[in-house]
Amino acid sequence: MSEATGTKPAARGPRRGELLEVEVDSLAFGGRGLARADGFVVFVSGALPGDRVRVEITKGKKRFAEARTVELLQPGADRIPDRCLHGGEPCPGAPWQGLPYESQLTHKQEQVGEALRRIGDLEGFDLEEIVPAVEQWRYRNKLEYSFGESDGEVTLGFHARGRWDLIVDVDDCQLASEAGNAARNAVRDWARLESVSAYDGRSKEGILRNLVVREGRRTGQIQTRLVTSASRLPRPPVDLHTAIEGDSGSTDGPTGAIGEERLREELCGLKLEMSHGAFFQTNTEMAERLYAVVAEFAGLSGRERVFDLYCGIGTIGLTLARQAGEVWGLEIVPEAITDAERNAELNKVENANFVAANARTGTRDLIERAGKPDVVVIDPPRAGLSQKIVRRVLECEAQKIVYVSCNPTTLAPNAAQLTEAGYSLKRVRPVDMFPQTPHIECVALFEKTGGGGA
């Protein structure tokens, strides 16, 4: 009680660097554990429901705090042993591996519904049962690794939890196939044999930065892409098709090719080829399940005009073309459009057309060129659609909109905007593309009901 004011001072929340013991009650969206300390909400990375953990506060706010797990004091009753470990630590790419798989599916289903109801203020839609993964492990067709050094030896793996400067060496990542692991290990062995150094961000010295391993699951092709600082390199012992010179540490930049530039894959009966930077779903088997849901929701009869916005290399549009009258794909990345056109030719698909343009500025031009569509398919990035792009979608006046979302919290406000403008959210079906992680993919169907306005 303050003598001056007669009021009780406000409780102080946890501060950065503080160590606390907390018990995790539930999972927040995004996968972090939710705990409470003296009435304050604490979001804990690396913890699951029922866990009692020692945590370090990494960020303190007025109403909540963020923390990382320092020690698991007592596991929750439902926790199962971690399967994928690197250097004794859980794989950072599998933060939910301690959850039984059925629990993972339940949480994802609930979080999709919660986002639509709480953020979008939506009701009356059919939240359908989540489509489980074909494979719970070894499902990724793409993984990116970082180079580091330990005791004078090159390491290749993932950043240690909470550390940007420490790379944990990986021998067998359970998210990757045996072939993908073998390719990564061959590159690391080559670097050690040839004494090629890892890049050090502090000293700005060294060569090797990152390695991207991609796999054609149906073709057996392995494609490795090395990201380096500017330097001449000895030839690697694997099919390393790209060495990138640049100072950004990203996977973009001018390339020097060794081996095959293009990755080959088969999906939904299509033969696909893609350039090194092209987006492709990282779970080939579940991409087929996802696109089957898109086709089901689109309900094509063979006559419809379909717009495929954010079409990438044309995978969704080419899949739908067999049931559509015509398909028009729109994509801002010119290289992806080149891939899409090549894939249409490769598969002898003659009713699919692809245009390199921004969805915000190119949709009106596409309407003038092709006419208004019957169905619009949208597969945007995690940030969802801006208000301007929502308006462009509404100008299409399509009877159906099929929205493929990788983030329910951005789907929800977009869904609210569409329903306010005269569409009804009919069905939502989650698809588990990423087992052992909190990431959620889902497909939503909107049908035009009239009313509203853009």
Bridge partners (DSSP) of residue 243 are 226, 256
Give the number of residues written for the chain.
454
pLDDT at 428: 98
Q: How far apart are CA 142 and CA 147, in angstroms?
A: 17
Domains of the chain: 19-79 (2.40.50.140), 106-135+283-448 (3.40.50.150), 142-264 (2.40.50.1070)
Would you state the pLDDT for residue 249?
43
Measured between alpha carbons, how far is 335 from 98 in angstroms, rounded to an integer?
Answer: 40
DSSP classification of residue 128: P
- Please tell me the predicted confidence (pLDDT) of residue 253: 42
- For residue 135, the model assigns a pLDDT of 97
Res. 234: pLDDT tops 80: no
User: Looking at residue 233, what is its pLDDT?
Assistant: 75
Query: In angstroms, how far is the first alpha carbon of the chain from the final one?
Result: 55
What is the mean predicted confidence (pLDDT) over 243-252? Answer: 49
What is the reported pLDDT for 252? 45
Beta bridge partners of residue 64, listed in sequence order? 41
Rounded to whole angstroms, the Cα distance separating 28 from 13 reads 19
Residue 138, pLDDT score: 98
User: In whole angstroms, what is the distance from residue 109 CA to residue 104 CA?
Assistant: 9
**Is the C-alpha dihedral spanning 113, 114, 115, 121 positive or negative?**
positive
Q: Does residue 257 carry a pLDDT above 50?
A: no
Share of the chain above pLDDT 90, in %: 76
- For the cut 70, the answer to whether the pLDDT of residue 85 exceeds it is yes
Q: What's the confidence (pLDDT) of residue 450?
A: 62
Active site residues: 406
**pTM passes above 0.85:** yes
Over range 44-54, report the average pLDDT: 93
Tens digits of residue pLDDT in 189-229: 999 999 999 998 888 899 999 999 999 999 999 999 888 88
Tokens 């073998």 belong to which residue?
A: 182
Query: In angstroms, rounded to a whole number, what is the distance separating the alpha carbons of residues 44 and 9?
Result: 27
d(CA 39, CA 215): 48
Instruction: Give the H or E element holding residue 392.
Output: helix 387-395
Say if residues 156 and 212 touch (Cβ distance below 8 Å): no
Helix 359-370 vs helix 387-395: crossing angle, to nearest 10: 10
Q: What is the pLDDT of residue 395?
A: 96
How confident is the model over 260-269, as pLDDT tens digits? 678 999 999 9
